[in-house]
């Protein structure tokens, strides 16, 4: 699900290391941030930060991460600095920064569905990866998954079983919890089209 390559994005990201995290010891971790995996262009993190949450957002695509950073910088310029950091990495390669940290919430919003059976290991909620994701949850922490894809929703419920992770909530027609949640870019456009949104909240084992 890749948009057009933005040639300015790599240099913008390089010019702003302060909007990323400089390794495990970065002082940003003292804010007890939530972790978002696949933050896209950042609207979800921005909206959640406005509700008082600090967010570390992983985004592997350089163009999306660049657009996200551009938004953060513009907001800062307008006098709205937000507690958000962007880590331009794939979750599978982010252990060097994440290891040793525990997050109160981990968000998986509209993860790439990888619909072909032969690609199921690539899905973020493949049980081995889901278990690794859950190893970064603080006690009482939650993985919060949303998708418009019923097959990915059903697959994720099954993978929770394989990983031995408790399903705290599963709903097939989620109407937004305005207090504790916010819409991502994808969610906004799917809701506009009248599509159903599936949600799962997963605990730690």
Task: List interacting residues with ligand SAM (CB under 6 A).
Answer: 1, 37-40, 58-61, 64, 90-92, 109-112, 124, 184-187
- How far, in Å, CA of 35 to CA of 198, rounded? 20
- How far, in Å, CA of 59 to CA of 61, rounded? 6
Task: List the one residue out of 159, 148, 170, 165 whose CA is nearest residue 120.
Answer: 159
Residue whose CB is less far from ligand SAM, 30 or 84 = 84
The residue at minimum Cβ distance from ligand SAM is 38
Candidate list 61, 93, 96, 112, residue with the active-site label: 112
Residue whose CB is less far from ligand SAM, 112 or 171 = 112
Helix (H, G, I), strand (E, B) or coil at 104: strand
- Assigned token pair, 199: 């949600």
Shortest distance in whole angstroms from residue 79 CB to ligand SAM: 25
Residue whose CB is less far from ligand SAM, 45 or 137 = 45
Shortest distance in whole angstroms from residue 117 CB to ligand SAM: 18
CA angle 111, 20, 3 (to 5 degrees): 40
Shortest distance in whole angstroms from residue 45 CB to ligand SAM: 9
- How far, in Å, CA of 170 to CA of 146, rounded? 10
112 as an active site residue: the answer is yes
Which residues, at least 6 apart from 66, have a Cβ–Cβ distance to it below 8 Å?
A: 6, 8, 9, 10, 12, 13
Shortest distance in whole angstroms from residue 199 CB to ligand SAM: 13
Residue whose CB is less far from ligand SAM, 111 or 156 = 111
- Supply the residues annotated as catalytic: 112
């Amino acid at each position: 699900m890749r948009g057009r390559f933005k040639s300015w994005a790599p240099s913008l990201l390089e010019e702003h290391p302060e909007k990323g995290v400089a390794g495990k010891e970065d002082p940003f971790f003292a804010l007890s941030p939530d972790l978002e995996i696949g933050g896209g262009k950042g609207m979800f993190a921005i909206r959640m930060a406005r509700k008082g949450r600090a967010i570390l957002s992983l985004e592997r695509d350089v163009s999306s991460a660049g657009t996200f950073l551009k938004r953060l910088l513009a907001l800062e310029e307008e006098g709205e600095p937000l507690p958000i950091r962007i880590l331009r990495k794939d979750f599978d390669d982010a252990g060097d920064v994440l290891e040793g940290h525990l997050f109160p919430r981990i968000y998986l919003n509209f993860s790439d569905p990888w619909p072909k059976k032969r690609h199921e290991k690539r899905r973020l909620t493949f049980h081995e990866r889901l278990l690794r994701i859950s190893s970064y949850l603080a006690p009482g922490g939650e993985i919060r998954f949303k998708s418009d894809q019923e097959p990915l929703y059903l697959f994720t419920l099954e993978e929770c079983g394989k990983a031995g992770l408790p399903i705290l909530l599963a709903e097939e027609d989620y109407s937004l919890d305005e207090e504790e949640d916010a819409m991502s870019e994808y969610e906004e456009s799917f809701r506009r089209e009248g599509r159903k949104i599936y949600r799962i909240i997963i605990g730690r084992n």
